[in-house]
Structure 1
Amino acid sequence: MNRLRSILLLAFAVTLGTHRAAAQSSPTPADSAGGVRICAGGDVTLGTNLDTTWVATARARLGRRVEALPDPDSILEPFRPLLADADVVLWNVEGAVGDGPINRRKCAAGSTSCFAFRMPAGTARALRGVAADSAVVVGNVANNHARDDGDIGRRNTVRLLDAAGVLATGVDTLATEVVTARGDTLAVLGFAQWAGPDPRNLPAVRRHVRRAAERYGRVVVTMHMGAEGRGRQNTVDGREESFGEDRGNVVAFARAAVESGADLVIGHGPHVMRAIQWRDSALVFYSLGNLATYGPFTLSEPLNRGGFACAVLDAEGGIVGAELRSTMQVPPGVPRVDDTNRAAALADSLGQVDFPGTAARLDPLTGEIRRPDGSPLAPASDPSTGSDGERRRR
């Protein structure tokens, strides 16, 4: 009897120890630590191996040697401290990625208004490597340069991103599932008229976003839309045109996406900073400017400004913290952290003009994003947040 009792006690001790070990090794849900932090940037083009003739012009203009294809890791290295706390990093991969034979001759010889971008294959590894090891890295391939090396080049881009541990979004109408290191799930869905679901088709936008919201709860949407250039900093609720193309209505897109369940809308394409707006409890960044655009680009003010939009999403998709981490570039596209927070100041002032009453306010010293009345963000469950903190019904 005593022997049986000893065996049972030993079995119980082993079982209890196993459960305790499992409990200690189980990942802590991100929401218990304040939410999931996602940091997203604007346009990224780390040089182009489709045409390097721009180097001669840049050398003459700058009066020094210019490298056509520097190491992608060295270009992105300044971003490392800005991304150290991110659970998810979202890049807009503005061009194909790959080496070897050219699969498409996009631009005619001597063209001055056509640009074709294919970044070296090492770009995929660099995009993954600059983020923290624990972060999930996502690359958006829904933009107007995704097919610069043809459909074969786009498939190669997705393949290289996957091999480097970068999830591709914007490939089709299905959202990309993102599972953080702590086990929290959200979805990312990219839109562009040239590659990926068309953001001008608003009924389709609503269907795609609603499907993602119903399945994943938290949804981040990216849009590559809007007219380009230094004169396009203001956001209008109307159709925009650029290079003879209908570039859609970014405000109408954001409205459709948020009403269908998007919690965060990330815009890029105009190559300049634009306003940031609160739509219900969702946050819309209409354009994050140029983040890292190395090569044949104009980088005079304000085209040299960009930044990372970093937002913390709680379990229901509520934004409980957000900031704009400002960056800048010096020719021919070398990024730096901007301690003057110029991008944040631009976004704040543009918001007051374009969206009086609903624009996000930004602290000029820190880039902290606040509510339209200037008050700081608070968790949606806090009664003091009032109607601004109420959850949308999905």
Structure 2
Amino acid sequence: MRLLSISLLNIVISLILSSCTTTASTTDLSQIQDIIQKDTTALKKDTISIIGVGDIMLGSAYPDKSNLPKGDAIKSFKNVDTFLKGDIVFGNLEGCFLNSGKSTKCKDTTGNSCFAFRMPERYAVIIKNAGFNLLSVANNHVGDFGFKGRKRTTTILDSLNINYAGLQSHPSVIFEKDSIKYAFCAFAPNENTVSINNLDSAKSLVSRLKAQVDIVIVSFHGGGEGAKFEHVLRADEIFYEENRGNVYAFAHGVIDAGADVVLGHGPHVTRAVEVYKNKFIAYSLGNFCTYGMFSLKGPNGFAPLLQLKIKSNGDFILADIISVKQDKIHNLTIDNNYTAFKKIQWLTNTDFPEHQLTFSANGRIELKKN
């Protein structure tokens, strides 16, 4: 456990320096600063735990309340909440928080032919209480209800002290937790989000953030959707005539610029993982907790709950995969058949045959021993 915070140590430095006599040499003062700086560095955590999941949409009140779950979503995470424990608990918020309003994207006034998600504002507390402290709002549903939905969502997240990023109005966030300074930025191919398709701009943002913090976490909403898009193509992925990004080039590019962890979502299915320059990449974390108008057929119904361990310099140590599943009756539960883990292993072997990872029977991923 830390004894002093960084800010408190800075106060101590100031007090010591102010109490020094005018006859104290510059060397003496420098030595004091060096000693305290070494103590400060020693207080930092050696290992950081990051929990990562994919899409979260607890139920939409649009076009009517029939798309809200029984029990008002309060028990959405009850079967997995013991695994949502870490320094960082991340997910992709697939929609906005808004109590009323119609979506301009829906030409059918009944909403039956359109996927537009607005979660009741009270559902934000459920996500907070589950342990989430970092959310991406860069996706194709955060803008379903226009500026009003985006604004209300950011206001609510601010009120709950949940860190988030991904909108052009909120491209990144910097925060500190347990002596580690983090930066987070998120990208998508969608209107009003920070573009996944402008790699130079993304790399520039990551580089600026890395100069200010210890750990940079990047997320992206990219790639085609569904069972036909399980593989990482290493090329631009076009889905319904929209460029959903070259997620391979993007992930490698932001790591080259200083990112320490890259977490992908958007395809609604599990994808491969990779360790590049000792930094971990998850190319898609799938549908995690998605109620209502989401297809949960086949691979869409299974997803990984990632428990990632990294060093304080961002280098990969290991990843444990808790496999979860969803269906229309039981909602989110643990999958004792390890389906998501097995899919990650197969896809990683297929898409990245050059990888240097080992996959154990209990769901652990590590680097091969030399």
What TM-score bracket applies, with the shorter chain setting the length? Answer: 0.7 to 0.9
Counterpart check, 1:192 vs 2:192: no
Q: Deviations over 1:285-332 (max 9, x none)?
A: 000111001001211111001122222232211122322221111116
Structure 1: any 5+ residue segments left out of the alignment? 1-25, 56-66, 376-384, 386-394
Q: Distance in 1 between matches of 2:43 and 2:80?
A: 23
Is the CA contact (8 Å cut-off) linking 2:95 and 2:117 kept in structure 1? yes
Q: Distance in 2 between matches of 1:324 and 1:257?
A: 24
Give the Å deviation of 1:114. Answer: 2.9
Counterpart check, 1:154 vs 2:150: yes
Counterpart check, 1:45 vs 2:61: no
Secondary structure at 1:126 match in 2: helix
Moved over 6 A (4+): 26-30
Counterpart check, 1:166 vs 2:162: yes
Aligned to 2:3: none
Q: Distance in 2 between matches of 1:278 and 1:254?
A: 11
Q: Distance in 2 between matches of 1:315 and 1:339?
A: 32
Aligned to 2:124: 124
Query: Alignment RMSD, CA only?
Result: 2.4
Counterpart check, 1:252 vs 2:243: no
Map residues 76-115 of structure 1 onto 2, 5 A cutoff.
76-84=77-85, 86-99=86-99, 101-102=100-101, 104-109=103-108, 114-115=114-115
Change (3 A) 1:111 1:254: same
Is the CA contact (8 Å cut-off) linking 1:167 and 1:176 kept in structure 2? yes
Q: Deviations over 1:117-171 (max 9, x none)?
A: 011112211111012xxxx701211111010111111110111112222122213
Change (3 A) 1:220 1:29: farther
Q: Deviations over 1:260-309 (max 9, x none)?
A: 11111000000000000111111110001110010012111110011222
Aligned to 2:35: none
Q: Distance in 2 between matches of 1:76 and 1:28?
A: 36
Secondary structure at 2:350 match in 1: helix
Is the CA contact (8 Å cut-off) linking 1:276 and 1:359 kept in structure 2? no
Percent of paired sites with the same residue: 29
Is the CA contact (8 Å cut-off) linking 1:52 and 1:68 kept in structure 2? no
Aligned to 2:36: none
Change (3 A) 1:218 1:69: same
TM-score by length of 1: 0.78
Aligned to 1:36: 48
Give the Å deviation of 1:30. Answer: 7.3
Aligned to 1:272: 269
The code of the aligned residue for 2:139 comes to N
Secondary structure at 2:79 match in 1: helix
Give the Å deviation of 1:359. Answer: 6.2
TM-score by length of 2: 0.83
